[in-house]
Structure 1
Amino acid sequence: MKIKNNILLGAILFISCINKINANVINEYWINSNNNSNIVPKIDNEITDVESDVTVVVDIDMESDISDSDDEVIDIESDILEVVDVDMDTESDVSELDNEESNIVTGIPEMNTDIFDIETGIPEMDTDIFDIETGIPEMNTDIFDIETGIPEMDTDIFDIETGIPEMNTDIFDIETGIPEFDEGDIETETDVVYSDTRLPENVLPVAYRLDFYTSIENSTFDGKEEIDIEILKDTNSIIFHSENLSLSNITISNENEVLKPNSIQFIKESNFVTLNFNETLKTDTNYTLHMQYSGKLNSNNIGYFIEEYDNKDGSLSRMAATQFEEAEARRAFPCFDEPQLKATFQLNMTVDDGYNALSNMNVVEIKEVENSNLKQKKYIFANSVKMSTYLVAFMVSKFQSISDKYNDIDVSIYVIPDRIEDAKYSLKVAIKLLKFYEDLFKIPYPLPKLDLVGIPNFNYGGMENWGLINFRSDYLLWNEKTDTSIIKCSVVSVIAHEIAHQWFGNLVTMKWWDDFWLNEGFATFMKDIATDIVEPELNINNNWYYENFASILKEDADNKLKPVYNFSSNPKYTEVWDMTSIYDKGRFIIRMMEFWLNKMNDNHSTSTISIEDNYFFKKISEYLDLYKYNNVDSKQLYEMLESYDENGQPLYHVSEIMESFIKQKGFPIVMMENLKNGNDLTITLSQEQFVSINSNLDDIEQNDTMINGNSTWVIPYSYSIYSNSTGKPELLESHYIILEDNDDKKFKTTISLPTKDDEASNTKIFIKGNEDQKGYYLVQYDDESIQVACEWLKSDLNFMSYLNRVGFISGIFTQLFEDRVENPATILNCLDYLKNEKSTLIWIEVLEYFNKLIERYENNMERNELIMKYISDLIKNIFEDIGWVEKEKEGIEKKSGIEDNTIINRQVLRTSLMNLSFYGEENNKRKALYYYNKIKNGTYNENLNMYILGSIFSIIFKYGDVDESDIDFILNELDSESSKFDKYSLIGGLEQVSDASLRKKILEKFSNDIENDFNLDDDEYQDLKIELLLNWASEDYYLSFTFVRDHWDNYFKEKYLNDNYELIYLIETIYYKSKNDDEHSQEIASWIDMIDEKEKKINFEDEIIDEDHDDNNLENKENDDDPIILWLKEHY
């Protein structure tokens, strides 16, 4: 999430805290090995390139003890790597014995096991001079490397790490070590024989056996692999994925023979390795693919990556972990890297002394590795359940753990040693969540253990690897003494999301990434429910509304979201993903279906969370049970949720509803018209696509339905009829209908009201659409309906539930801002009822609209003062109730008179109220100055949370009389390890500094930090500095530019190469701000061309739009007939 203004940090961080809102010496030892080969795969020599992106394979057939050194040729200029074997026709020293004389599994002659190792065929002579595992003579370690067998002769002619002779670079590629021999008699192929982006359907992986060695010190890994495969169609080739790996010793075996590929192709764009065989691989034969691989641990949090973190004592530690979603397992080991190709996985992990290893499954055995110059241990893990490659996970670290048991499941939290005490809360929560999900779905968690790992600088909130869940530490750890309840909520919410994935995504997985919403939409939906159940004192069940429901609707209306379902065959599917749409829009569509299906079956939506009493969860349980360990698509879910009549016809329109909502951009708005004639009420409903007047129509393709207005939805529509026939407004009845996708797009019904004839003329009616805001659509009210509802709210605001009230208020605000009301005064008159409104949820939403109203007139001081006077009048009562300081203990304690009152809601609302001070609300400005003076003179001891403190610093540095002493105070607090104030709050204050000399002083301090390498490893702090530069760039882009330019080589370049989003966005902003400046535009454009020439990370195509500022037809109007200003002048 892009944070542009730190005074909004409270609400933004709360939203962020809830959302997920984008991560080996080889010894043979296999668990449950299914190697049916009668012949040991031939050992091949390799020359590998682990530096480049090219997979290098060099095979030499060594059937004899003496080779004749025939040549091979590899084309390293093209994207396709060809390797062709040249057999060396020499006699073998080993005779072909009958099976009676040979081991039937290995094909090794069963001579004298006292002198031969039965598995490897290595003579067991004198272990004093032979390494028992490698067969390398242990002669003089002064001249032989004990691990590689490479003579340690003259390092001037041998590379000590690779063993590649550093001879004549005319015949060796100095980077890859690939011999550049003449082609000679070697026949090579150059044509790409397979051009699809998906794997062919001729091979099915069944079981992987992986043996890793990881060197944390050298940031390298290597491994040996076996993959049992099933041939689905006779074929002469096998295609799998590999990226940035060096491969060697590739063979395939069945029970009768070992086959070597006659050629190998590597297609870089798709990461395909194609093995071509002279022989046909038959469908009725079992095969095992064998190979070795090696690679480098990257620092980008994808694939198999290295991570550094600081210890409390100032020392630096390293660890390695994996992040394979969506198509990154291929970076760690060769595999069939598509989600529908599920298999079992058995891993062994060899690690150096002091490190431990984790993987998806439990440890079966830990063995000391003998005869190594390094002290090492091998972790042998149990065979896994059937799962997708993107869920495979392993980790090498020095983390510590705490554990407990739930039933027979070992639940553990692994974190850096300094934070182990802060993991206790997460352990309790994880066990509660496991129990909740098992009880709800009636499907046990299938693994013997569940590990939750906190990685300090992990790029993602969490990753649901089966049995080994990765988290960014901030989302796993909670300190009762120092952390707020909002952080607590964040921890529970993210854990709930990731554990939900153990069923949604892991147990049942989408067939392809276009149905990714089946994973993420459901996990996000479930975490709302689960968090409220397992931690009821947080009481967040209805926080979904201000959390992001309203903001998602806004983005969708502005044409900023892609459809939830967005097909692409590209295995790197993130190029077409829209995370907001998949996670949040998907989640709200699921919530709409849950409400609809339960209403159709006379169930309450989530008031009863059990499959016995809740139709939706009963069907979900059946879905999970039917498809466990398998893959599904959306239609299979729809079929499970549906019910059918005796003729087999669907009753609930599940497929039609879901298809219309997940495969289209945008959402509908339903216009309601009602006509009362005596006791008869005629309701007419029509729909259209809601398109905000703020949408940039230039970005919409001409064939987009938003242009021609053809989009319609199958809407599960709900409406409630309220009547005052008894003398006060009361709910009369509720209705649930399908508003279908038909030609006239209208639905009309007439209802007879239960009123007496003499009462009919005096009875008023209000119809509230979208009960409790469960539907993913808006409702538009006519002026008369708005007047009736507001009249009743002023006398009895509880005639509607607070969820219905927030939906109604949000709806009429939308009509005001979107010019969908006949007379704006109708809505402005209505809002006077807010003086008595006590719902924190409603106020959080209302303040969002107040901020938009302020922004419309911020450039006109007279009108801005009028707006602030109006808002101050409306918020006075709620501000007195909420206050600046939270005095109560965290929990559900009710503060008299405030509905949906929880400490989290109060904290968010309090922060939102503080934000109004930023726009000039005088009472808050005075209060902020009072607290700031106490902070600066050392007398501050109040319990203000970090978000309120952020507002205080922002207000003071925007409106206060700030001098160098204030800057020094903030900078000293930023450097102090004992500061009471978080860096978010402090930097937020500095962002508001506008004086050029004070800005220069701040940048001088940041320059010194860079030169002295001070605090540069605190990534979050450094990103906040970039946010500051971005904030300043809106007014003084050249100042931000010169700072970035001057510190490019010694600081910013590394962040740029590591895809730091904030920095790239800052550079783009600087570019667009400079376009109209003749003095500096060419200088900046040339510099960006220079630094971006190779990487092409900077986007020059799309204009940077200020997301915090809405343009629409009412903004900054200077005309005298502005209806809002006219109304304000009349009333204020």
Structure 2
Amino acid sequence: MWTVFGTWRRVSRVRRLPADLYTSRPALTQPPINNLRRNLLSSAYSTMAQDKYRLPVNVQPSHYEVTVWTDLKTCKFGGFVNISLDIHEETSTVELNSNDLVLGQASIYSDASQSLQLQSGQAVDKEQQRVAFTFPKALPAGSKAQLKLAFDGALKSSMRGYYMSAYEEKGETKHYALTQFEAIDARAAFPCWDEPLLKATFAITMVSHADTVNLSNMPAISEEAYEPGNNANTDTEISKLLSSLPAEHKWKITKFETTPPMSSYIVAYANGPFVHLEQKVVMPLSGKTVPLRIYSTPDVIHQAAFALDVAARVIPIYETVFDVEYPLPKLDTLVASDFDAGAMENWGLITGRTNALLLDPARADIHAQKNVAKTQSHEVAHMWFGNITTMRWWDNLYLNEGFATLMGEVIILNKIFPEWKANSEFISDHLHSALALDAKLSSHPIEVECPDASYIDQIFDALSYSKAASVLRMLCDYVGEEKFLKGVSLYLKKNLYKNTVTNDLFEGISTATGLDTISIMDNWIKKQGFPVITVTENANGIHVRQDRFIETGQVDPKENETIWKVPLSILTVDKDGKATVDKSALLEDRETDITLDNSQAFKLNAGTVGVYRVLYTPERLAKIAAEASKDNSIFSLDDRMGILYDVNALSKAGLAKISDALTVMELLGSNEKEYLVWSTIAESLGGLTSTFWESPETVELVRALIRSLFVPIVKRLGYEYSAEEPLDVTQLRTLAISMAGGSGQDQGVIDELKSRFAHYMSTGDDSKIPADLQGSVFIAAVKYGGRAEYEAVLKIQENPPTPTARIAAIRAMANTRDPELIDQTFSYILNKSRDQDVVYYWRGFQSNIHARRQIATFFKQNYSTFMKRFDGNSTMRYLVPLAFGALSTKDDVKSIEEFFEGKDNSTYHMSLAQTLETIRTRIGYIERSLDDLTGWLAKWDKRSKL
């Protein structure tokens, strides 16, 4: 799954699984699978302490027949399940998950007694989302049984479970329904054992309006219109069901092939007026032709081709790299108008939001292209890593998400789009964000206990995704990519259709490499935090010491007990100027001496692959920066990005001076050609204006520095884009214009952006707004314009030509400086905005210093409304840090603590703690660094005017 801080993810037949792993409908008993499952589950659960948060293990499912009807007119659904059960211990009670469903009377047929029983009792636990059925006679241990249960539910706009989504077509609002089950919402669509370890096969049957399309994980094996009295082959139960549905509608029945053994959270189905595009791919291992389809509503299908093409390009590469055949007969993607996350890896039916999967080739900027490609590649990686082989419990979520991030967004993406420099971009997209979060005392280990449901949802964060991907990338670099991927292949082959824990993965990599990777990786995975490596020089080389890095720079000895095994990746230069990198160096102790020639240039963490910071003396840092600023420097693009990120983080922590960071930025900016280094500089300087926003004179000097660095680039590159120009030029132009315009310091850039929007307003022609400049133009128009510009952007938001245009318009609306328009935007959020879009307004407001305190007040005033509106999904854990995270005084901390006192924060307590820690850290940073910052800027200002 891609979170909203990333993005997200679809009928025909392909290959079949080997007979010993998969049996198609109608067979319900699969002895080889059941015996394997029973042994696996028994072994797994024997190591787990049962508690109130986990289902009993005495009864477990092996196969589901799920029949679901959908009425898009009444916004209702329902159906029944027939679940084949293995009875491990004698019991008269069967307990499973159900949430927000109306359940019928349960019946159970025992193979042992050849008898059918109706329930004699029913107990519902709303808190744990469970129902327990009691039957008159006990079910014997070692027997099999079939549980039958009807259910009904309402299609809500919750973006969880089986829910309703809306779209506009020719001025008319239309609806369709789809599922989103990860992590624990399959139980909101049908009664089930909703834990990842409890794998089973699923045979889905859908009953729907005849003029709609039904989709599920597997291909349809039959579809027929329902005509009362004329469907001789229709199941009696389905006939009874259909007879109870509104007779004024025409209905149809769609039956799908049975799935392989899989976890409930990747079951998926959808019903609506979908259309599709299709490609076919010949798979390299099996030689089978796999159809790939992408579905959407008719109004946007023309924007879906790129995502389909990415899927077609990456899926055969994954099969080759993993050396494991793609196990399903097809792969579909469904684009959803309303989606809580970014995208979701349902097996055979990827789902995702519009901006994660759609782009118009005529209007697509490079950011949109990357976003769609990363999303699709990430989700296709899950078809193996997560779906075939699944984490045993949510504490090992990173086994799914960290690996899909590394494979989907770096290793595989680099094979199809090498010009995107995916490995370098990973540093800014993932490594930096992971280290920023993990530098807090309120972070958590990659492998984190998550006993209850409210905790599970909160670990879909930068640690489970970005830090996990970062430590796997570090290991990959240390052992070599070829051996790393060989180990991954061994892991998958050993655990086909099974559930795994951390050591299973590292055992595979250890086998492939001959190294004890379990020992190397143990603390990286199971301990919170990461080290800073302090480097001092001596007569024979250097002395290195590791300590836990905390963003405040103050680490309590009790928080500094972990010793990581740190791949140092040491770059050195010989007397002939030849650079070499020693990737074998591993720091296994608190500190050690390393022999090298420190009269020459050197650097630790070559390529910025290590998950740590490096602290040099000011003198050595100056030498490194000087070398990095040279043409053809020995320090690569990745090294230069790492140098900048390290010195900025160290200055915030008080381990270096902010003036040192600014000096490094100025040095690198004097001769830099690469977009990603300029992007790192821009991020750092933007961070200063955001941090010191309540010191206007200081901020104006920082903005003047921004202008001095980026306006010359604007003048050199201009405003016109060419399809033939290098990608780096395109991205650098966009960045420079954004920074120069956003700084408010260059009237020429502002006027140019405003004039382009004025042309659009007067003519309706947007040809003067290139896709890559869309965001900058919209923001400049609203920020430096008035109501007319605001209303024009609002209309774009309500009827956007592309998903990216909608988001750009939302961010622009939130960048107004007019108090009345800020209030109007607040009103729009409350009354008109789509639920999935609210987070984009918040991001815009957080970047708008004229609205930061208003957004915090707005959140407080409407807290109960937002809690009710976003009950059950993940939005609140994003809104809390976006509402308060940019504040910077002790009074702010006190006010926030008082506001949340006594409130149930169980669904967002982690993000609240991290937000408060961020503000406290910022307060210390400002107090410690303001004089140093203003002093450096004053000297720079004098130099710049000479």
CA 1:635 to 1:872, structure 2 compared with 1: closer, same or farther past 3 Å?
same
The reply on whether 1:662 has 2:520 as its aligned counterpart is: no
Matching residue within 115, 120, 126 for 1:268: 126
CA 1:1127 to 1:380, structure 2 compared with 1: closer, same or farther past 3 Å?
same
CA RMSD of aligned residues (A): 4.4
Structure 2 partner of 1:362: 219
Q: Give matches, 1:314-463, under 5 Å.
A: 314-371=171-228, 372=243, 373=247, 374-407=249-282, 408-463=289-344
CA 1:1053 to 1:624, structure 2 compared with 1: closer, same or farther past 3 Å?
closer
Structure 1 partner of 2:593: 748
Task: Check whether the contact 1:1026–1:1062 (CA below 8 A) recurs between aligned residues.
Answer: no
CA 1:915 to 1:339, structure 2 compared with 1: closer, same or farther past 3 Å?
farther
Matching residue within 777, 783, 788 for 2:612: 777
Q: 1:1018: Cα distance to partner?
A: 5.3
Q: Give matches, 1:686-705, under 5 Å.
A: 686-693=545-552
Structure 1 partner of 2:735: 909
Structure 2 partner of 1:622: 490
CA distance in 2, matches of 1:638, 1:436: 23
Q: 1:570: Cα distance to partner?
A: 2.3
The 3-state SS of whatever aligns with 1:31 is coil
Give CA deviations for 1:982-1026 in whole Å, capped at 9, x if unaligned: 45555555545445xxx336756986x899x8xx36556776666
Length-normalised TM-score, structure 2 = 0.82
The reply on whether 1:718 has 2:569 as its aligned counterpart is: yes
The 3-state SS of whatever aligns with 1:656 is helix
Structure 2 partner of 1:185: none
Task: Check whether the contact 1:247–1:292 (CA below 8 A) recurs between aligned residues.
Answer: yes
Task: Check whether the contact 1:438–1:445 (CA below 8 A) recurs between aligned residues.
Answer: yes
CA distance in 2, matches of 1:629, 1:33: 19
CA 1:430 to 1:1071, structure 2 compared with 1: closer, same or farther past 3 Å?
closer
CA distance in 2, matches of 1:968, 1:220: 37
Give CA deviations for 1:145-166 in whole Å, capped at 9, x if unaligned: xxxxxxxxxxxxxxxxxxxxxx
Structure 2 partner of 1:739: 587
Task: Check whether the contact 2:97–2:191 (CA below 8 A) recurs between aligned residues.
Answer: yes
Structure 2 partner of 1:527: 408
Counterpart of 1:664, as a letter, is K
CA distance in 2, matches of 1:453, 1:229: 32
CA 1:805 to 1:481, structure 2 compared with 1: closer, same or farther past 3 Å?
same
Task: Check whether the contact 2:343–2:375 (CA below 8 A) recurs between aligned residues.
Answer: yes
Q: Give matches, 1:549-588, under 5 Å.
A: 549-571=431-453, 573-575=455-457, 577-588=459-470
Give CA deviations for 1:413-452 in whole Å, capped at 9, x if unaligned: 1110122222222222212111111111111111111111
The 3-state SS of whatever aligns with 1:591 is helix
Q: 1:716: Cα distance to partner?
A: 2.2
The reply on whether 1:297 has 2:138 as its aligned counterpart is: no
Segment drifting more, 709-718 vs 1103-1112: 1103-1112
Matching residue within 797, 811, 820 for 1:1000: 820
The reply on whether 1:820 has 2:655 as its aligned counterpart is: yes
The 3-state SS of whatever aligns with 1:209 is strand
The 3-state SS of whatever aligns with 1:798 is coil
Structure 1 partner of 2:166: 308
The reply on whether 1:844 has 2:670 as its aligned counterpart is: no
Q: 1:272: Cα distance to partner?
A: 2.9
Q: 1:548: Cα distance to partner?
A: 3.3
Structure 2 partner of 1:508: 389
The 3-state SS of whatever aligns with 2:529 is coil
Q: Give matches, 1:62-141, under 5 Å.
A: none
CA 1:344 to 1:572, structure 2 compared with 1: closer, same or farther past 3 Å?
farther
Give CA deviations for 1:1025-1046 in whole Å, capped at 9, x if unaligned: 666777789669679969997x
Counterpart of 1:1128, as a letter, is W
Structure 2 partner of 1:765: 600
Counterpart of 1:292, as a letter, is A
Length-normalised TM-score, structure 1 = 0.69
Q: 1:471: Cα distance to partner?
A: 1.4
Give the paired residue count. 879
Structure 2 partner of 1:152: none
Query: What is the percent sequence identity of the aligned residues?
Result: 24
Task: Check whether the contact 1:475–1:490 (CA below 8 A) recurs between aligned residues.
Answer: yes
Q: 1:641: Cα distance to partner?
A: 1.0
Give CA deviations for 1:778-816 in whole Å, capped at 9, x if unaligned: 111123322333343455452222212222233334344
Task: Check whether the contact 1:791–1:830 (CA below 8 A) recurs between aligned residues.
Answer: no
The reply on whether 1:673 has 2:536 as its aligned counterpart is: yes
CA distance in 2, matches of 1:567, 1:1070: 26
Task: Check whether the contact 1:910–1:948 (CA below 8 A) recurs between aligned residues.
Answer: no
The reply on whether 1:635 has 2:503 as its aligned counterpart is: yes
CA distance in 1, matches of 2:277, 2:25: 27
Give CA deviations for 1:815-846 in whole Å, capped at 9, x if unaligned: 44433348956972784353111121111112
CA distance in 1, matches of 2:433, 2:26: 51
Counterpart of 1:19, as a letter, is G
Task: Check whether the contact 1:973–1:979 (CA below 8 A) recurs between aligned residues.
Answer: no
Task: Check whether the contact 1:20–1:494 (CA below 8 A) recurs between aligned residues.
Answer: yes
CA 1:906 to 1:21, structure 2 compared with 1: closer, same or farther past 3 Å?
farther
Segment drifting more, 243-252 vs 500-509: 243-252
Q: 1:1055: Cα distance to partner?
A: 4.1
CA distance in 2, matches of 1:1101, 1:446: 42
CA 1:829 to 1:217, structure 2 compared with 1: closer, same or farther past 3 Å?
closer
Q: 1:342: Cα distance to partner?
A: 0.9
The 3-state SS of whatever aligns with 2:739 is helix
Matching residue within 265, 285, 293 for 2:143: 285
Task: Check whether the contact 1:802–1:842 (CA below 8 A) recurs between aligned residues.
Answer: yes
> Which sections of structure 2, spanning at least 5 residues, go unmatched?
11-23, 31-49, 229-242, 283-288
Give the structure with the higher percent helix.
2
The 3-state SS of whatever aligns with 2:199 is coil
The 3-state SS of whatever aligns with 1:836 is coil
Task: Check whether the contact 1:415–1:454 (CA below 8 A) recurs between aligned residues.
Answer: yes
CA distance in 1, matches of 2:463, 2:156: 30
CA 1:772 to 1:402, structure 2 compared with 1: closer, same or farther past 3 Å?
same
Give CA deviations for 1:672-715 in whole Å, capped at 9, x if unaligned: 22324xxxx333221000112278x9xxxxxxx77542232121
CA distance in 2, matches of 1:969, 1:425: 29
CA 1:339 to 1:1018, structure 2 compared with 1: closer, same or farther past 3 Å?
closer
Task: Check whether the contact 1:1037–1:1070 (CA below 8 A) recurs between aligned residues.
Answer: no
CA distance in 2, matches of 1:862, 1:569: 49
Q: 1:355: Cα distance to partner?
A: 1.8
Q: Give matches, 1:17-96, under 5 Å.
A: 19-20=6-7, 31-34=25-28
Q: 1:335: Cα distance to partner?
A: 1.6
CA distance in 1, matches of 2:691, 2:801: 42
Counterpart of 2:723, as a letter, is K
Counterpart of 1:692, as a letter, is E
The 3-state SS of whatever aligns with 2:504 is helix
CA 1:21 to 1:814, structure 2 compared with 1: closer, same or farther past 3 Å?
farther
Counterpart of 1:593, as a letter, is L
CA 1:32 to 1:334, structure 2 compared with 1: closer, same or farther past 3 Å?
same
CA distance in 2, matches of 1:367, 1:1035: 56
The 3-state SS of whatever aligns with 2:93 is strand
CA distance in 2, matches of 1:1070, 1:1120: 24
Task: Check whether the contact 1:557–1:667 (CA below 8 A) recurs between aligned residues.
Answer: yes
Structure 1 partner of 2:238: none
Q: 1:339: Cα distance to partner?
A: 0.9
Matching residue within 67, 70, 87 for 1:214: 70
Task: Check whether the contact 1:673–1:683 (CA below 8 A) recurs between aligned residues.
Answer: yes
Give CA deviations for 1:5-46 in whole Å, capped at 9, x if unaligned: xxxxxxxxxx999824999xxxxxx9324489xxxxxxxxxx
